[in-house]
Structure 1
Amino acid sequence: MKRGLIAATAVAGMLGSVAACGGAGGKADAEGFKGKKLTVWVMSGSNPERWTEQVSEQFKKKTGATVEFKVQQWNGIQQKLSTALSEDTPPDVVEIGNTQTAAYAKAGALAELGDLKKEIGSDWNDAFNKASLVDGKQYALPWFAGNRVVMYNKKIWAEAGLKGTPTTRNELFKAFDAIKKKTGAEPLYLPGQNWYFLDGLTLGTGAELVKKQGGKWVSNLGDPKVSKAMHIYQQYQAFSTAPKNKDEATPQQGEVFAKGKTGAVIAMGYEAATAVKANPGIKNDIGFFTIPGETAAKPEGVFLGGSNFAVAGMSKNQELAREFLKVALSKQNDGQMVKEAGWTPKSADLAAVAQKNPAAAAAAPAAEKSGGTTPLIPQWAAVENLPNPIKSYMTAVLGGKSPADAAKDVESEINARLARQ
């Protein structure tokens, strides 16, 4: 039964008391953990292989307990997670999208972790930690964050006679034109509902997706700046034959890229591993570059997507969960995430590691100059619940409807979701 965030809210009082107890903590008793199993929910594509092995080994050595990683799919995860966190036996540790953490914290579903942050994350970049704080309290710890880049097929680009990488949007579109005319490849694989790419484009145009009206948050999707961002998306999508009513995970675009018939995708760094897993022979053909903006001076706006780790307030393994976080978020394992998956480093100590990963190096300029997030308000998580109305808006515009009319069609639904407390 899908109960959504309402279910978590209904038990907020109970969860709040448990979270307070779990946050108090004492020194962990490793002997008491032997033989126990900790359940950790992670999202598909989040936990790279070597990091997972390393953390599992270190956790068992430190505590005598084992960790079971249960991989979840992004589609429908908010409803599924809301239900799980409201039950008597939830997963102990959960991965939560960084812009969605506030909703679960407000519902009282997460344990407070302020003391743990001071212990293991005193040197983390404040920008990473911002989405873990709600009303000044620490309800999660930042695991990773990064932004999209252009992942391209070097062989196809060479076949099209392309040298170097584009530094402006117009140069990129000219490159796509060359691939279309000179090769048999699809220039760009971009489905119609790559919503987080659109969010980056709205950051580039200076658009705000919500606004305050009468003391309440309401949709701002009809703003001309949002329309401008959607027009840029249309220009990109015109180079693709991907479905206009699907997102980048349906099917996984990394697997599409792996077939060797796609010039480029707008991707997260970890999607290269997805492609190589599907087709090991493509490994040496993969390259990355920063998504170029209107001018060479400023890259395209990008959504700084990532995830936090949180401890379920109803978990009966509070202290063991905290021991897991100490291991998983250690400097060594954070470095492994940067090295293996191309995420942006959380502290200055890891900057050198990022330069060794081509995807991380390509992501850095946009993250620094043009990065941002979706609205950091608790109500925003409900907006992205399936079916995501902004994805419906995108498909409608790509189907020929004007951005203004498409916005009108979904704004009542967005406003209804924003009104949920």
Structure 2
Amino acid sequence: MKKRILSCAVALLVSLTSAGCGLLPDDEAGTRTVRIWLMRDSVSDDFLKRFTDAYEKEHSVDLEITFQDWTGIGRKVTAALGSDEAPDVIEVGNTQVAQYAETGLLYDLTLESVRDLGHEDWLPGLKDPGNVRGSQYGIPWYAANRVVIHRKDLFARAGITQPPKTRAQWIEDTEKLNGDGTHGLYLSGQDWYTLAGFIWDEGGDLAVDEGGAWTGALHTPAALRGMEFYKRLQALGPGPKDADEQTPPQADVFAKGDVAQIIAPPSAATAIQKRNPALKGKLGFFPIPGRTADKPCAVFTGGSDLIIPEKARQRDSAIEVVKALAGEKWQTDLARTMNYVPNKPSLASVVRNREATAAMAAGAARGRATPNSPQWAAVEEANPIKPYMTAVLEGEDAERAAETASARITSLLANG
């Protein structure tokens, strides 16, 4: 069957003007068309062609795929969920599932996920945010996370023969890398996603659900220990205390050639090498070290889940599409094509020969997502975590600054 890939504009025009298939369920019109929204650039053209060609042939359906942009996607998905023209499958950011579930317009996939999709082996950073109040609304699709990107040549010059496995060794190695015009590490003062990993590694959290009421948790002893380590690490380099990793872009700083390490997704290596081609072949990747050598640091897991609207016209067919995309065959293909982390730690072996993706996969096994409150987006918009970090790095009392930030987070989670 003919594959149909529509632009956002064409899809909107069809939904507004169609007098045929848009007004009748596809099975009543004599065809079955599964309408899918994917985020732009989440998959390559060659992967999409392989999947759609194979799936349509095996299942005798048409896949109508529309690409969406991240800008404004929250409002667009919410509107679609409430309409009679809701798509059948939607790719969403893993941390967005809770806000869409809050509408009451998502189909509960708990039974399907338990029965057929091996939910017990999903990455926690994709699985947990897809689960809202005990119901699985989001099915994990793919993940990506931060690693340490480093200069192999500078490590060798400093006598470091292998990447550090513990925080203590990481600090020691970074100190060795400082000197002779080299900065051991560049870490901005407001890189709060990296801070979150250190907090989780200590057993703390950014916010906690206490009987249905979310409260900020930066002032807890565990969270304060995470901040203390961040402060110690950040002091080993020239990163600004009052800016995040995009001000200036840390990839640009690294590309200048005098920095040995940054904490970033492996995709940053492309930007680095484009800006400084002399670094090609000199970059390496390793998981962010943990407190002990037996496991890397917890990390923030970014990525996507797949959801099905309650009003999906082709619900049964949509479930089958999700099962295929989340299943081993197409997870393996997607991971190798896009250098993503597959949705299960048991599939990490499919990227073991790819240094950057393998480093991500090791960290993703201990990955987490931001607090699973539908109001978390309000916290990120106001972001009291950033000024808290700057205050501590500039010498203010950490506990007092954390209590102020926690109170602000509590207010935002209560009021949105």
TM-score > 0.5 by shorter chain: yes
Equivalent in the alignment of 1:53: 46
Aligned 1:344-383 pairs, distance under 5 A: 344-347=341-344, 350-368=347-365, 370-375=366-371, 377-379=372-374, 381-382=376-377
Instruction: Indicate if the aligned counterparts of 1:269 and 1:341 stay in contact, CA closer than 8 A.
Output: no
Select the residue among 370, 381, 398 that pairs with 1:403.
398
Structure 1 CA distance for aligned equivalents of residues 182 and 148 of structure 2: 16
Equivalent in the alignment of 1:8: none
Is the counterpart of residue 104 in structure 1 residue 96 in structure 2?
no
1:179-215 deviation per Cα after TM superposition (whole angstroms, max 9, x unaligned): 2213x33322222222121111112222233346686
- When residues 202 and 341 of structure 1 are mapped into structure 2, their CA distance, relative to the original with a 3 A threshold, is farther
Structure 2 CA distance for aligned equivalents of residues 191 and 267 of structure 1: 11
Calculate the aligned-residue CA RMSD, in Å: 3.8
Aligned 1:302-381 pairs, distance under 5 A: 302-311=299-308, 325=322, 328-340=325-337, 342-347=339-344, 350-368=347-365, 370-375=366-371, 377-379=372-374, 381=376
Aligned 1:3-402 pairs, distance under 5 A: 31=31, 33=33, 38-42=36-40, 47=42, 49=44, 52-59=45-52, 62=56, 67-72=65-70, 80-87=72-79, 92=87, 94-114=90-110, 117=113, 121-122=117-118, 125-126=121-122, 127=124, 128-182=126-180, 184-211=181-208, 216-250=213-247, 252-276=249-273, 282-311=279-308, 325=322, 328-340=325-337, 342-347=339-344, 350-368=347-365, 370-375=366-371, 377-379=372-374, 381-382=376-377, 384-402=379-397
Unaligned runs of 5+ in 2: 1-24
- When residues 260 and 70 of structure 1 are mapped into structure 2, their CA distance, relative to the original with a 3 A threshold, is farther
Query: Given residue 287 of structure 2, which amino acid in structure 1 is its aligned partner?
Result: T
Query: Given residue 393 of structure 2, which amino acid in structure 1 is its aligned partner?
Result: L
- When residues 399 and 95 of structure 1 are mapped into structure 2, their CA distance, relative to the original with a 3 A threshold, is farther
Identity score, percent: 31
Q: Over alpha carbons, which structure has the higher Rg?
A: 2
Structure 1 CA distance for aligned equivalents of residues 213 and 107 of structure 2: 28
Equivalent in the alignment of 1:3: none
Equivalent in the alignment of 1:20: none
- CA drift of 1:313 comes to 5.6
Give the TM-score normalised by the residue count of structure 2. Answer: 0.75
Instruction: Indicate if the aligned counterparts of 2:26 and 2:32 stay in contact, CA closer than 8 A.
Output: no
SS in 2 for 1:300: coil
Give the TM-score normalised by the residue count of structure 1. Answer: 0.74
